[in-house]
Chain A
Amino acid sequence: MLAVAVDIRRWLRGDRHTPFAERLDRDREIGRLLPADTDTERVVGWWSRVDRGKCAEQPQGERLGSMRRIATAILFAMGLGLGGSVAGVALGYQGDYPVNLLALLGVVVGIPLILLIVTVMLLPGRVPGLAAVRDAVSGFNPGRWAGALLDRLAGVELFAALRSGSSFARWQLVVFSQWLAVGFFVGVLGICWLLIAFTDLAFGWGTTLQIDATAVFQWFSVLSEPWSGWLPVAAPSLELVEASRFYRLQAGGINAARAAQLGEWWPFVLMTIFAYGLLPRLLLLAVGGWRLQAATRSLLRDDPEVTALLDRLNTPRVGFEGELESEPKATDESVPAPDSVAVDVNTVVVIWNEAISVAAAGQWLQSHLGAAAGELVGLSVLQSEAEQRRLLAELPEDVQRFVVITKGWEPPLLEFSDFLNVVRDMLGSSVSLMVVPVDVNGMSVLRDHRAVWSRALAHQHDPRLYVAAADEMSASST
């Protein structure tokens, strides 16, 4: 699971550069095919289906998994060596005086037990103050060293997030350190057993304090309580406790019978180390391993990129699928502006589609040009072509200019082109046709709008067709 989680997280970071819409399509398509499992299973299912070709990185997960196994084995071996060495030193026995049980158990059980209690107390990272203590002492944690090394070798940042309260990092460190501790106690027990089996060990107890054997017996009885019922040989008797007290100044006075009696402590020693050293560590290792599994699954769920992925997997894809039309190429061809737009008695002015009020058109011409046109006609698309022809036929024969005032805010339609064709057909090719688009107030339209008209009417291919601005018109003296 760790390998997959690491690879998915890394891959998703690289996938950030894929356009969002593309990711949305890709992931939802896969999401629809996945069974409705838990979030983690859906993500893993997605991972097996997604095309990782484009931005696939070298998979790091497997490598990290291998390294984690190696780190675990190294820590266990280190613990084994350390435990063996400590046991070798603690059980160092030259025959001058017995091995002091109080010192032995203090070193191999007492101190590790205190460390274990501290570890358990520091596990809930959210307790104010404890987190700071944990951070301060974590520098001495071999599990932390292993984590930092893994981060560096595998190019991940799994353990760097420890301070943020990353559940994975916390439990992985617990597991690492418990493997070390388990190794330590296996080493201690192994060396103990070897020395017991192949050398003659004698155990006793000695203290400067004025403590009598009964009190010591009570302590040992409490310690051996868990197994005294089914393994009485590993529970010391009061006689043995009384007989085992020694003073180093009297060490030379132990005879063979007493030495054999002092050797009877070994089952108690082994059981104490097992029960108060190895067993709690095995328990914490099991709990840590179980929590680590859950945290490894969370490693996926808690990653923001994975959360975003789940959103893409689970949310229906909503949107438009459509046809797109490319914008037509702009044409450079346009109808020219006339050199002059003089209005005189030989000019016919047509108001097309009520661009300005026909009733007010005369005044409009007077105010804009100071002159009147020969004819002023209102025509519109509402009239049929026949009607338009009839009205055009009524115009005088000496028309020289034909001015069409039209709505500049409207686009030039093909039916307007049709009208110009009718005009040309009726009036002949020598008459100048001038189209004057005006705005809603009868003023010149913006240059852009006029350009639209110029380009649209260029399709007429009429050499005497012009597009003029209202303010370019003038009265003619002729």
Chain B
Amino acid sequence: MIPAFAVVGHPNKGKSSIVATLAEDDDIAIGSAPGTTRHANRHSFTIDGEPQYVLIDTPGFQRARGVLDWLESREGAAHERAGFVEEFVTEHQGDERFHDECELLRPIVEGAGILYVVDGAKPYGPEYELEMQVLRWTGRPRMALINLIGAGDYIEEWRQALGQYFSIVRVFDAVHADFNKRVALLRAFAELEESWRAPLERAVAALESERRHRRDRCAQEIADSLVEMMTMTERAGLADDADSSELQARLTQRLQNRISAREQTAREVVQGVYRHAGLQGEEDASAARLLGTELFAREGWELFGLSHTQLLMSGVVSGAVAGAGVDAVLGGATLLLGAGIGAIVGGVGAWFGGDELARVKVLGQSLGGRTLQVGPVTNPNFPWVLLGRALVHHRVVAERNHARREALSLAVDQHAMDALPEDARRRLGGLFRALPSGEPGPGSRRALSTQIGELLEADNQEVGGSLRD
């Protein structure tokens, strides 16, 4: 039998938030008003369509006193109590007075385990005892989850009360729980009944594998978008007597628009990978806030790209490495002159190339006339800015919880690239330098994707800035 878990409790204690978080579903209705959930809603976790376990979001208790009174009016031994609960549900089918109680108890009498949700940020009240007693009557395996809605801390108080009725009590902040906490909770579900262990372990393994796939998919998308954005050009015919500066401005704007659109597409893919597709609807309002600044705004470059010093060092190091290659080819006869010259050339290029955005060329046409080409963007800081923005965006999206319903936003208060390891910076620098000169081959693309994948893997490191919603 597929494990099923009914998420029950008082209204407005975060039952739907917990389900939304575990089900990774932005579409589950979460409301501040009580009674947002009116029916038991089943959410099956599937691997290729095969259900592994089911979460059932239920309405909250409205008349626990009434249910308990009805149950206690039955005379019978302890082993008959579950039958009385079933009888209650059957008897009150269609009774509007106990609509919510029937909805939440029905999955339990059908065999679901119980996840009882309370709010640990608010004090315990004796009225909760009625609900816990009703749940104890069902005789089903049960676990209590202390959710945290707000700033208060009454966790210990709750632990002591819940410990009277539940063998497992866990604190689970539905809105802020990261992936590891969600997996840990799933493993805790398996402790409720031995026969549930195997399917839940399969689910955990699938989730962990999916997590890796998501990272790889995002790394590839970010790498592809970087390659495309770095190699984009805009061209238009230039009449002999035309003012090239006006056309250049127009083409530059067009190029910037295309690059921005590609960046947005990459973000949508990343959000889609993490099932935050619903955020796309908010993009107009949130995009500007999301990364603080527009892509081509200089202040954003200072936040997301390399600092002038980092850029200089990157140029020097990569120039020296290229020069050292020449030294090596010549068997060291140059006495490291190649490395020295390479370092100087790389450093000077990085220092003075930092202000120019894109290459502008006037090309001849085979049928006469001229063509003005703007792009690709050659500014050495540009790929770093793109990468910094992509990494920060990925971090926000990957760690964003599905119970959160407000628009994405973040503030970045330090260089996004400060936390980038030196060797990663060197390797990426080498890959970036080759980009504007032509579309890279599959090997270079793979190398870039792998490198970015490693950065995403080290997601717990400080990629850049403090994030806040």
CB proximity of B456 to chain A, nearest CB, Å: 15
Asked whether, in the complex, the Cβ of A440 is within 8 Å of the Cβ of B123, the reply is yes
Q: Which residues of B contact A308 (CB under 8 A)?
A: 217, 220-221
Query: What string of 1s and 0s marks CB contacts (under 8 Å) between A406-442 and chain B?
Result: 0101111111001000000000000000000000100
Asked whether, in the complex, the Cβ of B220 is within 8 Å of the Cβ of A318, the reply is no
Query: What string of 1s and 0s marks CB contacts (under 8 Å) between B1-40 and chain A?
Result: 0000000001110000000000111011101111111110
Q: Which of B256-293 contact A (CB under 8 A)?
A: 265, 268-269, 272-273, 275, 277
Contact pick for B33, options A311, A324, A384, A452, CB 8 Å: A452
Contact pick for A415, options B41, B45, B64, B122, CB 8 Å: B64
Query: What string of 1s and 0s marks CB contacts (under 8 Å) between A314-343 and chain B?
Result: 011111111111111010000000000000
Q: Which residues of A contact B57 (CB under 8 A)?
A: 325
B297 at interface (Cβ–Cβ under 8 A)? no
A102 at interface (Cβ–Cβ under 8 A)? no
A354 at interface (Cβ–Cβ under 8 A)? yes
Nearest to A407 among chain B residues (CB) is: B125
Knowing A19-B272, A411-B10 touch, does A28 contact B42 (C-beta < 8 A)? no
B445 at interface (Cβ–Cβ under 8 A)? yes
Nearest to A411 among chain B residues (CB) is: B34
A120 at interface (Cβ–Cβ under 8 A)? no
CB proximity of B198 to chain A, nearest CB, Å: 17
Nearest to B273 among chain A residues (CB) is: A20
Asked whether, in the complex, the Cβ of B126 is within 8 Å of the Cβ of A382, the reply is yes
Q: Which residues of B contact A315 (CB under 8 A)?
A: 209-210, 213
In the assembled complex, the Cα of A320 lies from the Cα of B52 at a distance in Å of 10
In the assembled complex, the Cα of A311 lies from the Cα of B43 at a distance in Å of 25
Nearest to B63 among chain A residues (CB) is: A415
Asked whether, in the complex, the Cβ of B439 is within 8 Å of the Cβ of A380, the reply is no
Knowing A325-B39, A414-B62, A452-B34 touch, does A319 contact B220 (C-beta < 8 A)? no
Q: Which of B234-257 contact A (CB under 8 A)?
A: none
Q: Which of B182-197 contact A (CB under 8 A)?
A: none
In the assembled complex, the Cα of A20 lies from the Cα of B441 at a distance in Å of 25
In the assembled complex, the Cα of A28 lies from the Cα of B42 at a distance in Å of 23
CB proximity of A127 to chain B, nearest CB, Å: 11
Asked whether, in the complex, the Cβ of A324 is within 8 Å of the Cβ of B272, the reply is no
Asked whether, in the complex, the Cβ of A164 is within 8 Å of the Cβ of B438, the reply is yes
A70 at interface (Cβ–Cβ under 8 A)? no
Contact pick for B25, options A160, A322, A410, CB 8 Å: A322
Asked whether, in the complex, the Cβ of B33 is within 8 Å of the Cβ of A304, the reply is no
Q: Which residues of A contact B441 (CB under 8 A)?
A: 161, 164-166, 302
A128 at interface (Cβ–Cβ under 8 A)? yes
B48 at interface (Cβ–Cβ under 8 A)? yes
In the assembled complex, the Cα of A32 lies from the Cα of B46 at a distance in Å of 15
Asked whether, in the complex, the Cβ of B127 is within 8 Å of the Cβ of A325, the reply is no
How many A-B pairs have beta carbons closer than 8 Å: the answer is 174
B325 at interface (Cβ–Cβ under 8 A)? yes
Q: Which of B299-358 contact A (CB under 8 A)?
A: 325, 329
Asked whether, in the complex, the Cβ of A325 is within 8 Å of the Cβ of B29, the reply is yes
CB proximity of A207 to chain B, nearest CB, Å: 41
B440 at interface (Cβ–Cβ under 8 A)? yes
Nearest to B123 among chain A residues (CB) is: A440
In the assembled complex, the Cα of A327 lies from the Cα of B269 at a distance in Å of 27
Asked whether, in the complex, the Cβ of A411 is within 8 Å of the Cβ of B11, the reply is yes
Nearest to A20 among chain B residues (CB) is: B272
Most B CB contacts (10 A, CB to CB) among A161, A166, A316, A320 go to A320
Knowing A163-B438, A412-B34 touch, does A311 contact B213 (C-beta < 8 A)? yes
Asked whether, in the complex, the Cβ of B43 is within 8 Å of the Cβ of A322, the reply is yes
In the assembled complex, the Cα of A324 lies from the Cα of B223 at a distance in Å of 35
Asked whether, in the complex, the Cβ of B220 is within 8 Å of the Cβ of A307, the reply is yes
Query: What string of 1s and 0s marks CB contacts (under 8 Å) between A161-193 and chain B?
Result: 101111000000000000000000000000000
In the assembled complex, the Cα of A382 lies from the Cα of B64 at a distance in Å of 10
B60 at interface (Cβ–Cβ under 8 A)? yes
Nearest to B126 among chain A residues (CB) is: A382
Asked whether, in the complex, the Cβ of A415 is within 8 Å of the Cβ of B220, the reply is no
In the assembled complex, the Cα of A448 lies from the Cα of B217 at a distance in Å of 42
Asked whether, in the complex, the Cβ of A319 is within 8 Å of the Cβ of B33, the reply is no
CB proximity of B328 to chain A, nearest CB, Å: 10
Asked whether, in the complex, the Cβ of B43 is within 8 Å of the Cβ of A323, the reply is yes
Q: Which residues of A contact B55 (CB under 8 A)?
A: 320, 322
In the assembled complex, the Cα of A97 lies from the Cα of B358 at a distance in Å of 65
Contact pick for A324, options B27, B38, B61, CB 8 Å: B27
In the assembled complex, the Cα of A169 lies from the Cα of B25 at a distance in Å of 45
In the assembled complex, the Cα of A409 lies from the Cα of B120 at a distance in Å of 12
CB proximity of B42 to chain A, nearest CB, Å: 6
Q: Which residues of A contact B31 (CB under 8 A)?
A: 327-328
Query: What string of 1s and 0s marks CB contacts (under 8 Å) between B120-134 and chain A?
Result: 001101110110000
Contact pick for A318, options B37, B47, B440, CB 8 Å: B47
B152 at interface (Cβ–Cβ under 8 A)? yes
In the assembled complex, the Cα of A209 lies from the Cα of B48 at a distance in Å of 82
Asked whether, in the complex, the Cβ of B32 is within 8 Å of the Cβ of A452, the reply is yes
Knowing A307-B220, A318-B46, A318-B47 touch, does A411 contact B210 (C-beta < 8 A)? no
Contact pick for A380, options B33, B46, B126, B445, CB 8 Å: B126
Q: Which residues of B contact A318 (CB under 8 A)?
A: 45-47, 206-207, 209-210
Contact pick for A410, options B29, B38, B125, CB 8 Å: B125
B459 at interface (Cβ–Cβ under 8 A)? no
CB proximity of B281 to chain A, nearest CB, Å: 12
Asked whether, in the complex, the Cβ of A320 is within 8 Å of the Cβ of B272, the reply is no
Asked whether, in the complex, the Cβ of A21 is within 8 Å of the Cβ of B439, the reply is no
In the assembled complex, the Cα of A131 lies from the Cα of B258 at a distance in Å of 31
A455 at interface (Cβ–Cβ under 8 A)? yes
In the assembled complex, the Cα of A323 lies from the Cα of B44 at a distance in Å of 9
Asked whether, in the complex, the Cβ of A320 is within 8 Å of the Cβ of B24, the reply is yes
CB proximity of B46 to chain A, nearest CB, Å: 6
Contact pick for A381, options B46, B130, B275, CB 8 Å: B130
Q: Which of A282-318 contact B (CB under 8 A)?
A: 298, 302-304, 307-308, 311, 315-318
A73 at interface (Cβ–Cβ under 8 A)? no
B69 at interface (Cβ–Cβ under 8 A)? yes
Knowing A415-B62, A418-B63 touch, does A323 contact B42 (C-beta < 8 A)? yes
Asked whether, in the complex, the Cβ of A322 is within 8 Å of the Cβ of B23, the reply is yes
In the assembled complex, the Cα of A303 lies from the Cα of B28 at a distance in Å of 37
Asked whether, in the complex, the Cβ of B63 is within 8 Å of the Cβ of A316, the reply is no
CB proximity of B180 to chain A, nearest CB, Å: 17
Asked whether, in the complex, the Cβ of B272 is within 8 Å of the Cβ of A330, the reply is no
B163 at interface (Cβ–Cβ under 8 A)? no
Query: What string of 1s and 0s marks CB contacts (under 8 Å) between B441-463 and chain A?
Result: 11111000100000000000000
Interface set of A (CB-CB < 8 Å, partner B): 16, 19-21, 28, 32, 128, 157, 160-161, 163-166, 298, 302-304, 307-308, 311, 315-328, 330, 353-354, 380-382, 384, 407, 409-415, 418, 440, 448, 452, 455-456
Write 29 A-B pairs (CB below 8 A) sorted by A numbering: A20-B272, A20-B277, A163-B437, A163-B438, A164-B438, A164-B444, A166-B441, A308-B217, A315-B209, A317-B47, A318-B46, A319-B45, A320-B46, A324-B27, A325-B37, A325-B57, A326-B29, A353-B127, A354-B125, A354-B126, A382-B129, A407-B125, A410-B125, A411-B11, A411-B60, A413-B10, A414-B62, A418-B66, A452-B32
Given A317-B46, A380-B126, A411-B12, 10 extra CB contacts under 8 A: A16-B269, A19-B272, A311-B213, A320-B24, A325-B29, A328-B36, A353-B125, A382-B130, A410-B12, A415-B65
Top 5 A-B residue pairs of the complex, sorted by shortest distance between their CB atoms: A20-B272, A322-B43, A411-B34, A302-B442, A414-B62
